[in-house]
Amino acid sequence: MNGVNGVALGVFFFFFALVTAMGFLAARWRRAENAQSLDEWGLGGRSFGTWVTWFLLGGDLYTAYTFVAVPAAIYAAGASGFFAVPYTILVYPLIFTFLPRLWSVSHRHGYVTTSDFVRGRFGSKSLALAVAVTGILATMPYIALQLVGIQSVLDVMGIGGGESTHWFVKDLPLLIAFAVLAAYTYSSGLRAPALIAFVKDTLIYIVIAVAIIYIPIKLGGFDDIFAKAGDALSQTNPATGKPKGEVTPSSPNQWAYATLAFGSALALFMYPHSITATLSSGSRNVIRRNTTILPLYSLMLGLLALLGFMAIAAGIKVENGQLAIPQLFENMFPDWFAGVAFAAIGIGALVPAAIMSIAAANLFTRNIYKDFIRPHATPEEETKVSKIVSLLVKVGALVFVLGMDKTVAINFQLLGGIWILQTFPALVGGLFTRWFHRWALLAGWAVGMVYGTVTAYGVASPVQKHFGGSNDVIPGIGEIGYIGLTAFVLNALVAVVLTVVLRALKAPEGVDETKPSDYTADAGDPGVEEELPAPTAAH
């Protein structure tokens, strides 16, 4: 416990306690008479308006990955870490085309998860099961990344055992974060992260505004920052014998950069937590408006990414790159404001982790438990199972954290991206056409999953023998590119070719329970409930 920053720690715990209290109180916010249903616990009553949805989606998508892993990647390797900026620019025009359609058909039929839609569209429980299992699998490492973010700020403040060899002391911050997160998620469902997101986003914008002005002034301006970063990144890395990184992508790395950005853009709204936040909104127009104002977060992400260069220029030396930005804040800010910055990172991890665990739990309950174990489960039973599973999902995330190298935490998210991208043909393809055959989609998914996982397993890094990165040689091209996008192309090719073959053979198709008008329905239309009014008293 030597070197504890008492002031920063006190400020951090003040905000941590504040949002924890808000998490439990959220159970009474906009509460319906019957809270024991997945629509209420897992989707907040499907009633959030534009601003609540904006904060919820922002809190959902811009996470500890934003504050810790992206700048850490830039700190370690330079320009390659900036892939996150163009991909968040690409994603919003993309989701403008399909998210309103998903909202409409889901509200018309009461779908809670993407797997609900896939099952209804293609009449295939097997395909829905594949999408559900993939969603749960991809979500656990993403939750793990949030827990790593919390641990990094606690380590910098002097808590967590840093160099301790006793596993319990070393990983105590993760256990504490798990317990707090599990408790208020279980109690309040999606309303908890929706309410906390207001605090989280406010803190983040304050910290960014201060950091992007205050730190460059202390470091002599951006000219000096980029010059020092360029010099440091040009030094030879003893582990690889190559330069540590580069300030701008060189020709050999441009394929990797472009495919990673494009593949990540395709994958982002395949994640269950992204869809959960989307389906909680009250109308199609809420979704449209959010796709036009969410790019404000992309500006924030670009500014945050520059912190990686600032950490290099400030002479930050850490063995674990995930500690670079927390250490930069510790060194540059007054203790009290460092505490505010640490709180922004910590809360920036809690909000998405809560949504992710809820989304994964909903997938298990609706598409594994109800479809295969208890077909006649009541809404109350579904909610109870989801609450319990939301706890178990966090345990799975802890296994990822404790079993993999935390010094390259961004690989947690990239590995999940490889998997979740394989659900794109079934979900987005199904929103626009019924041409794909269900068996072809299932075969394409299997090919993409196997290729992506096996290839990623074979990627080594200086600190990991397996799953050391997300790029490998693209077959037939010879360039280095994103494994997830290569797997997705193979997936799509198999789905197209097999669909042609199966249709020629007149293989039986599943029953489509949707109709064209379902994809344009809005709040107030027959079968689609109006936005639920906030009650005057809690029940």
Q: What stretch of H or E contains 290?
A: helix 284-293
Residue 169 binned pLDDT confidence (cut-offs 50, 70, 90): low
Length of the chain measured in residues: 539
Tokens of 246: 């580069």
- Looking at residue 122, its amino acid is F
Residue 184 has pLDDT above 60, yes or no: yes
Helices (H), 123-271: 125-156, 167-170, 172-188, 191-219, 222-233, 254-268
Q: Are 267 and 420 in contact (CB under 8 A)?
A: yes
Residue 190 and residue 182: Cα distance in Å, rounded? 12
Residue 513 and residue 334: Cα distance in Å, rounded? 60
Query: What letter does residue 123 receive in the DSSP assignment?
Result: -
pLDDT for the residue numbered 173: 62
pLDDT for the residue numbered 250: 67
Residue, of 163 and 449, whose pLDDT is higher:
449
Q: Which of 62-76, 190-204, 275-289, 517-531 has the lowest mean pLDDT?
A: 517-531
Establish if 429 belongs to a structural domain: no
Establish if 353 belongs to a structural domain: yes
Residue 469 binned pLDDT confidence (cut-offs 50, 70, 90): confident
Residue 535 has pLDDT above 50, yes or no: no
pLDDT for the residue numbered 168: 57
pLDDT for the residue numbered 165: 47
State the average pLDDT over residues 471-477.
Answer: 87
Establish if 416 belongs to a structural domain: no
**Domains of the chain: total:** 1
pLDDT for the residue numbered 281: 87
Distances (CA, A) of 129 to 135, 221, 283, 384, 453: 10, 53, 28, 20, 18
Residue 314 binned pLDDT confidence (cut-offs 50, 70, 90): very high
Residue 358 and residue 185: Cα distance in Å, rounded? 8
Residue 491 has pLDDT above 90, yes or no: yes
For a pLDDT cut of 70, what percent of the chain falls above it?
88
pLDDT for the residue numbered 492: 97
Q: pTM for this one?
A: 0.89
Residue 362 binned pLDDT confidence (cut-offs 50, 70, 90): very high
User: Nearest Cα to 243, choosing from 76, 83, 82?
Assistant: 76
3-state secondary structure of 235: coil
What's the maximum distance between 2 C-alpha atoms anywhere in the chain?
72
State the average pLDDT over residues 333-343.
Answer: 92
Establish if 343 belongs to a structural domain: yes
- Considering 215-224, 250-259, 293-302, the range whose residues carry the highest mean pLDDT is 215-224
Establish if 430 belongs to a structural domain: no
Residue 312 has pLDDT above 50, yes or no: yes
Helices (H), 434-518: 438-457, 483-504
Residue 310 and residue 83: Cα distance in Å, rounded? 18
> If you average pLDDT over every residue of the chain, what do you get?
84
Looking up tokens 């030396």 gives: 317
State the average pLDDT over residues 479-502.
Answer: 95
User: Nearest Cα to 58, choosing from 291, 261, 272, 385?
Assistant: 291
Residue 216 and residue 229: Cα distance in Å, rounded? 13
pLDDT in tens, 417-427: 899 999 999 99
Residue 268 and residue 134: Cα distance in Å, rounded? 14
Residue 239 and residue 93: Cα distance in Å, rounded? 41
Residue 447 binned pLDDT confidence (cut-offs 50, 70, 90): very high
- Considering 194-203, 245-254, 495-504, the range whose residues carry the highest mean pLDDT is 495-504
Residue 345 and residue 325: Cα distance in Å, rounded? 10
Residue 536 binned pLDDT confidence (cut-offs 50, 70, 90): very low
Domain that holds residue 406: 6-29+39-410
State the average pLDDT over residues 45-56.
Answer: 82
Residue, of 247 and 2, whose pLDDT is higher:
247
Tokens of 525: 């239309």
pLDDT for the residue numbered 538: 34
3-state secondary structure of 433: coil
State the average pLDDT over residues 480-485.
Answer: 91
CB atoms within 10 A of CB 42: 27
Nearest-5° angle of CA 161, CA 139, CA 151? 15
Pairing between strand 242-243 and 480-482? unpaired
State the average pLDDT over residues 117-121.
Answer: 95
pLDDT for the residue numbered 1: 40
State the average pLDDT over residues 51-80.
Answer: 80
3-state secondary structure of 281: strand
3-state secondary structure of 427: helix
Residue 33 has pLDDT above 60, yes or no: no
Three-class secondary structure assignment of 304-359: HHHHHHHHHHCCCCCCCHHHHHHHHHHHHCCHHHHHHHHHHHHHHHHHHHHHHHHH
Residue, of 89 and 440, whose pLDDT is higher:
440
State the average pLDDT over residues 378-384.
Answer: 90
Establish if 296 belongs to a structural domain: yes
What are the φ/ψ torsions at residue 393 (nearest 5 degrees)? -60, -40
pLDDT for the residue numbered 300: 82
Instruction: Give the CATH number for residue 294.
Output: 1.20.1730.10
User: Nearest Cα to 276, choosing from 392, 36, 425, 114?
Assistant: 114
Q: Are 450 and 517 in contact (CB under 8 A)?
A: no
Establish if 82 belongs to a structural domain: yes
pLDDT for the residue numbered 333: 94
State the average pLDDT over residues 486-513.
Answer: 95
State the average pLDDT over residues 359-379.
Answer: 92
Residue 18 has pLDDT above 70, yes or no: yes
pLDDT for the residue numbered 402: 67
Residue 154 and residue 156: Cα distance in Å, rounded? 5
Tokens of 177: 């974060």
State the average pLDDT over residues 17-25.
Answer: 85
pLDDT in tens, 382-410: 999 998 998 888 877 777 666 655 555 56
pLDDT for the residue numbered 321: 76
Establish if 440 belongs to a structural domain: no
Residue 50 and residue 107: Cα distance in Å, rounded? 17
User: Nearest Cα to 65, choosing from 510, 512, 409, 495?
Assistant: 409
User: Nearest Cα to 147, choosing from 297, 354, 380?
Assistant: 354
CB atoms within 10 A of CB 218: 13
Q: Are 305 and 84 in contact (CB under 8 A)?
A: yes
- Looking at residue 411, its amino acid is N
